[in-house]
Chain A
Amino acid sequence: MLPGVEALERAMGYLPGTAPEPVTELIQEVSEELVILDGVKAEYRIFSNIRLWPEDKTVEIEGVIFHVKPIIYSQITDTEEVALFICTAGPLVGEMSRRSMKEGDLLRGYVYDVIGSEVVECAADNMQDELKRAAGTRGMHITNRFSPGYCGWDVAEQHKLFSFFKDNFCDITLTPSALMNPVKSVSGLTGIGRNVRYTSYQCHKCDDNNCIYRNRKTKA
């Protein structure tokens, strides 16, 4: 479940193999310490009672309307079912990160933090793989996963998303300001259908020029 050194270097902004020595050493040390990371969870629920509203670019799931906005809507127009998901890396990495920072070991704290972010992304990737496999057995495909707070979809719509899950599902709670606790958690939806497809990420369609994914170096 733990991401490799190269993935972590990338997540910090470096090209693989270019992070300074103390950083790669710490990544290795912290990764060894976290080999068994309890609390990583990823769950989804599939809904077939859905409707798509092209005029408003909304998706209705069991009567609840999600305003996913044009960029995401355009990727799920042929969807027949929707999977809603939540994933978490659990509370431990966050706690370790805060403790190290408090003790003045800023770099170690940051390494825990980035590992937490990557672990939850890996958990979500594994969940997508499982969803893809399950959809495949029914002759269906899946779309990318999309999260409230990205591509214009209001982050506050997480409240609607969470209403489909039992309280403390996956041990995640949502604050009134739509912040998931533990912090290293993600939520969202994936489209499922015979005619949907997975596409490479389309950063050019998004207007967030500050996004660190966009700023990451892709070539030397």
Chain B
Amino acid sequence: MTELLERISICVEFGKVDLKSPYPPALKDQQGAFELTRIALDSGVSPGVILEEALIPAMSRVGEKFSRNEIFVPQMLMAAKAMNSSMIHLRPFYLSGETRRKGTFIVGTVTGDLHDIGKNLVAMMIEGAGWEVIDLGVDVSTEKFIETADKYPGAVIGLSALLTTTMENMRKTVASLREIRHSMKILVGGAPVTPEFCVKIGADHYSPDPQGAVEFLKSIAQ
């Protein structure tokens, strides 16, 4: 069984989606994350174990390599695609409540800002770390964040901004969220955001990359 989980993990790490995917060449004509996950479930491995022992470690290795500039965005996206193919089989167990996520993460790019690639990467990696992700998209108003936070009590909020002008909107959103729920955990990121700015606006954590965001969530989920 461990061998099967290891194979799923490798498929996810290197972006081997299914039998048809020709990449990576070493795994050509072999089953990918999609088929192997089905086989694992059919042979009695629980969805929780697949997530904990195959998908999460794979995505964690991907995040670490990205942080060290050993791989770049395309490889991260390929891994995310393979993970999604695995999730097709796991999702029904989450929906039925049979398997539980580590928590809920609400993420969006702040009002006035249309950048989404960086925010999408963070969302993918956090999903890969076992969290439910509610992605509100770009140009998200403070009201929308508040409304969604109300629907998911205990959720962690993630705000992304790519321009110094929209960082100002990030500050306003954090202030409004704090007003309604003081203890809410708020994570911020995006190219011009700094740890100093995070402290200044009263957010809980700044992360320069998706892996840092995952580590932060891990630290508060414990």
Contacts and interface: CB of A to CB of B under 8 A. Distances in A.
Interface in A202-218: 208, 210-211, 215, 217
B23 A22 contact: yes
B44 interface: no
A101 interface: yes
A13 B69 contact: yes
A210 B112 CA distance: 22
Interface stretch (A38-46, A56-64, A69-77, A171-179): A171-179
Contacts of B192: 208
A178 B117 CA distance: 19
B114 A179 contact: yes
B164 A149 contact: yes
Contact of B73 (A13, A101, A181, A208): A13
Interface residues of B, number: 32
A155 B75 contact: no
A13 B81 contact: no
Given A106-B77, A210-B191, A210-B208, A14 B112 contact: no
B53 interface: no
Contacts of A107: 74, 77-78, 81
B35 interface: no
Interface residues of A, number: 32
A135 interface: no
A177 B124 CA distance: 27
A167 interface: no
B113 A177 contact: yes
A21 B77 CA distance: 14
Given A13-B72, A106-B81, A183-B115, A20 B165 contact: no
A177 B69 contact: no
A21 B164 contact: no
A155 B80 contact: no
Interface of B: 15, 22-25, 69, 72-75, 77-78, 80-81, 84, 112-117, 120, 124, 163-166, 168-169, 191-192, 208
* 9 A-B pairs with the lowest CB-CB distances in the bound complex, closest first: A177-B112, A13-B72, A106-B77, A177-B165, A23-B74, A178-B165, A107-B77, A22-B23, A177-B166
Interface of A: 12-14, 19-23, 98, 101, 104, 106-107, 110-111, 113, 149, 154-156, 175-179, 181, 183, 208, 210-211, 215, 217
26 contacts: A12-B73, A14-B72, A20-B75, A20-B78, A22-B15, A22-B23, A101-B116, A101-B120, A104-B81, A106-B77, A106-B120, A110-B74, A110-B117, A113-B117, A149-B164, A156-B164, A177-B113, A177-B165, A178-B163, A179-B165, A179-B166, A208-B191, A208-B192, A210-B191, A211-B191, A215-B69
Given A21-B25, A107-B77, 16 more contacts: A12-B72, A13-B69, A21-B23, A22-B15, A106-B120, A106-B124, A149-B164, A155-B164, A177-B112, A177-B163, A177-B165, A177-B169, A179-B113, A179-B163, A210-B208, A217-B69
